[in-house]
Amino acid sequence: MEESPPFKPPRGVKPIKETRVLMSVIRSLTASETDEQRDREKANLETQYRLCDQKLDELVSKHEEDLTLVMQMFGNISQCVNENRNRIRRIKENLQECRKVLGYRKERIRNLWRDRLEYKYILEMIAESNAKEKGT
């Protein structure tokens, strides 16, 4: 008899079975009136916990190679993601530095343009003044 492999529920969705068990435990603990009832419930939970732990150990040992492979792949992927995040951070920093440099150059070009206009008007005034002197 072959067991189906364990499956992971979608993110953000809790399986209904576990939720029911948890609600049942909460209800039974709050409803129990004596310490004896609570102790029985506690013993029952510990037994279920041991069984679950034993089943988990069996599944881990049964799928050890797959788990090792998955963990190695996850480690490689995680490393790549972290390296890419660092690259993206450096690229963002470089782009911000470029933006600053371009802003400085833009300001310098604007100042040069103003100076050019000023010199143009000065030259026009000198030319007018020379034309008036020649005309007189």
Choose between 34 and 77: higher pLDDT: 77
Residues 6+ apart with CB under 8 A from 6: 59
Give the pLDDT band (50/70/90) at residue 15. Answer: low
Give the orientation angle of helix 64-135 with respect to helix 35-62, to 10 degrees: 80
User: Is 1 inside a domain boundary?
Assistant: no
pLDDT at 23 over 80: no
Domain check: are 37 and 21 in the same one?
yes
Summarised one tens digit per residue, pLDDT across range 80-90 is 999 999 999 99
Domain check: are 129 and 77 in the same one?
yes
Domain check: are 58 and 81 in the same one?
no
User: Is 23 inside a domain boundary?
Assistant: yes
Domain check: are 51 and 73 in the same one?
no
Q: Which domain holds residue 44?
A: 14-62
Burial class (CB within 10 angstroms; exposed 0-12, middle 13-18, buried 19+) of 25? middle
Task: Indicate the residue among 36, 62, 88 that finishes a domain.
Answer: 62
Tell me what pLDDT residue 77 has: 96
Domain check: are 77 and 52 in the same one?
no
Residues in the chain: 136
User: If you count DSSP H runs as helices and E runs as strands, how many of each does the chain have, helices first?
Assistant: 3, 0
Domain check: are 22 and 89 in the same one?
no
- Give the SS3 label for residue 109: helix
Tell me what pLDDT residue 135 has: 72
Domain check: are 91 and 56 in the same one?
no
d(Cα 57, Cα 71) in Å, to the nearest integer? 17
Domain check: are 34 and 79 in the same one?
no
Any idea which residue has 């039974």 for tokens? 28
Q: What is the 3-state secondary structure (H, E, C) of 46-79?
A: HHHHHHHHHHHHHHHHHCHHHHHHHHHHHHHHHH
The number of folded domains in the chain is 2
Task: Indicate the residue among 46, 62, 78 that finishes a domain.
Answer: 62
